[in-house]
Structure 1
């Protein structure tokens, strides 16, 4: 029969093996040490790229004068089962597709270079050109195909559409249900396609409050986020990830058995 001291030591070791330091788990540590980011808009980094789909609406005091500068409405499409699409009868505004040269074909104005601009810059550019035809035009630009993909050690991996074009890394991880307990919080990979079609990437540390100063903190359209499994998870890839829990429970049961049989 096992000696009580041996059982107690085994139980203590099992508890210690399951302990994780605060520095490994807690997000945004030393938040009070963040430097002022200034008044720069987060949208300044959201650049338009080839293959983006843009929703552009032009309005004015005299709406009839703005009509020629808007694409016609089309019947909306609704998703059915097994990827089936059907017309739902709701009119929606058509999108502009940015071609490989980073251009769109705009009514009346013709070919407009848009790649490399953010929404604010494109709105200002179009407003200046349309002002030659109508007074005080209002131009609203939106990126319609804004979506991000989140993979790895998160609760609900997948591709998520974004409607407001304001998506920080923590908010994106929230869409995926946050990291699992087995995800590496200090090494979050963000992969981004630049306007030249090349891939850029960065590793971000969720436990570091200075993460907010990274240009990758606010995500852009089609970014991919990957959460690596932690070291113990990699080492135990071929084992049951709940093994440590089972060992702890077994230790408690053995300890109780020893105490009851003394």
Structure 2
């Protein structure tokens, strides 16, 4: 009986070795000199120079435009024609309804604002577009507040992540690739964190980049921040596809061996 116990223990160790064959160095994020020689306990922070650039609107982006009166008693938007200059009625809080009632930027870069006309916004940031639309609205109406919001901030996650698919970003300011990775449920153990592909639309061109999340150089790269429409593909580690394919079988085998090991030891103790 003891021989059976030793055999089961050996098989369990073999199964566990198969399930943990990815080196930890491939799983560690943001390695660098500061991590290799950290000054633990120091109150002096490690500083990184951020390279963040505000997103500039492009054709086919969808904007939510809302105009409100500063002084309702003087200018009641609810009873005037200007109340039509809204893209987020009662359902504005729901992303699907907002998209249906939003304003799409045309091929030529204009957005058509009701009662105002075409306003050129392509190439502007959201804040710059809001200021320009407000100027156009004030040519017809006074005492107004104009709010502009980008409704199409979605990022597509593909590859070796727990939850692939489209992710909607509600805080468009300085959202990082690590934020998106966290929303996708963390890359799998078979993911190649050293080779993350980012595909980004620039007008009629699709640009492709590769980033390494295991090195802290990414913190100072403009690619650290995601942009609307980004497609992020997490490649699998070479040579570990078999581990991913056989992961369910390995889990089942590990469970069976654990149960067999437990019952064998139970029988040995019972016979004593």
Q: Secondary structure at the match of 1:62?
A: coil
Offset at residue 158 of structure 1 (A): 1.1
Q: TM-score, normalised by structure 1?
A: 0.71
Q: TM-score, normalised by structure 2?
A: 0.69
Q: Secondary structure at the match of 2:222?
A: coil
Offset at residue 230 of structure 1 (A): 0.6
Match of 1:26 among 28, 47, 52: 28
1:106 maps to 2:113 = yes
| 2: CA distance, partners of 1:140 / 1:224 | 28
Offset at residue 221 of structure 1 (A): 1.6
Per the alignment, residue 181 of structure 1 pairs with 189
| 2: CA distance, partners of 1:164 / 1:36 | 21
Distance change in 2, residues 1:116/1:72 (3 Å) = closer
Offset at residue 29 of structure 1 (A): 2.3
Higher strand fraction (1 or 2): 1
Offset at residue 214 of structure 1 (A): 2.2
Per the alignment, residue 5 of structure 1 pairs with none
Offset at residue 78 of structure 1 (A): 11
Q: How many residues align?
A: 240
| 1: CA distance, partners of 2:98 / 2:172 | 23
| 2: CA distance, partners of 1:149 / 1:91 | 20
Give the gaps of 5 or more residues in structure 2. Answer: 4-8, 36-44
Per the alignment, residue 169 of structure 1 pairs with 177
Match of 2:208 among 177, 201, 209: 201
Give the gaps of 5 or more residues in structure 1. Answer: 3-7, 80-84
| 1: CA distance, partners of 2:48 / 2:147 | 32
After TM superposition, list the pairs within 5 Å mapping 1:87-98 onto structure 2. 94-98=101-105
Per the alignment, residue 158 of structure 1 pairs with 165
Per the alignment, residue 52 of structure 1 pairs with 61
Offset at residue 125 of structure 1 (A): 1.8
Deviations 1:163-213 (A, max 9, x none): 22243211111121111111011111111111x221012111111122122
Distance change in 2, residues 1:10/1:163 (3 Å) = closer
Distance change in 2, residues 1:113/1:138 (3 Å) = same
Q: Secondary structure at the match of 1:99?
A: coil
| 2: CA distance, partners of 1:175 / 1:97 | 27
